[in-house]
Amino acid sequence: MRLGGYAHSDGITFFCEGMLLKAKKRGNNPVYQFKWIKTPRWMRKGSDHPLLAGVNQLYYQWQIFDPWRRWGLLALMAALLIDELWPISPIRYLLEGNISPYWGWGVMIIFILIRGRKVPRLLRYHGAEHKIINTYGRYGAVDYSMAKSAPCYHSYCGTNVVGLFLGLYGLLYVLGIDAIPLVIGLFLLAFPLARKMAQKPYSQWFFKGLQRITVWEPTEEELRLGIDCFHHLQQAQGIYRHEVKISTQRRNNSL
C-alpha cells in the first residue's frame, strides 16, 4: 500500500491507491470521513515525464484537499495572474511600499488571534503523520511504540516542495525573470525535483532545516488518533482489494 497523508489543525488524513480517510477529533470521539480518489489513466501513464508527473501529483493533491486548501490554492493562482495581467495590480502596489507596513502587522496579529492556537496542533499532527508513514515504510505495520520512536523527518514532505519552489522563484525574482508560464512550470517541476533531491546528502540538510519549522513532536493523543486512522484505511484497502480480486475472478470465469 502506497501511503501518503497530510495534517489538519484538528486531525489527520491518510490516503493510498484510490481512497482517503480523514480523522478529526470531535470532543472525546474521533469522526472519520471516507472518499474515493482516482487519477485519469492518461495521467498515470505519463507519470514518468517531469512535467506530467507534476500535473499528476497536483491533480491527486487537488482530489484529497479539503475546501480550505482548494480555495487557498485558487487564491494564490488568481493573485499571480492578476499581478501578471494588470499593470497596476494590488499585489505590486503593496510590494512597492505604497501602503503602510502597519497594515501588514495588523493582518498578522488578527491571524494569530484567530488561528494562532491551532497552528501548534497542526504542526504536531504533521509530526504524527510523518512518524506513522515512516513506521509503515520500515516495518509494514504500525503500533504506538514503533511510531513513537520513529523520526519526524520524511524525505517526501510537501514542505520540501514548497521550500524548493520558493527558493527557485526567489532566485528568478532577483534576476528579474518573472512570468506566469514560467512560475507554473517551475511549480510543476518542484514535485519531481524535490523527490530526487531528497535522496541526495547535500540537500537533506536544507529539507531537514525546513521541517524543523513545520513538523513537531506529537502528543500521545494526537499520535494515537493518527494510528487509528491508518488502521481504518488499511482495513478499507484490504476489503477493496479483496472485492476487486473476486470481481476479476468472476469476470474471467464468465468468459
Q: Which residues of 90-121 are buried (b: 16+ CB within 10 A; e: fewer)?
A: eeeeeeeeeeeeeeeeeeeeeeeeeeeeeeeb
Between the two ends of the chain, the Cα-to-Cα distance in Å is 30
3-state class (DSSP) for residue 27:
coil
As a whole number of angstroms, the distance between CA 232 and CA 235 comes to 5
Domain ranges of the chain: 4-61+99-154+215-254
- pLDDT value for 61: 72
10-residue block means of pLDDT along the chain (255 residues)? Answer: 88 89 88 84 62 67 74 75 62 56 66 76 96 95 96 91 87 77 78 83 86 95 96 93 86 79
- pLDDT value for 91: 56
Q: What is the separation of C-alpha 237 from the centre of its chain, rounded to a whole number of angstroms?
A: 21
What is the model's pTM?
Answer: 0.79
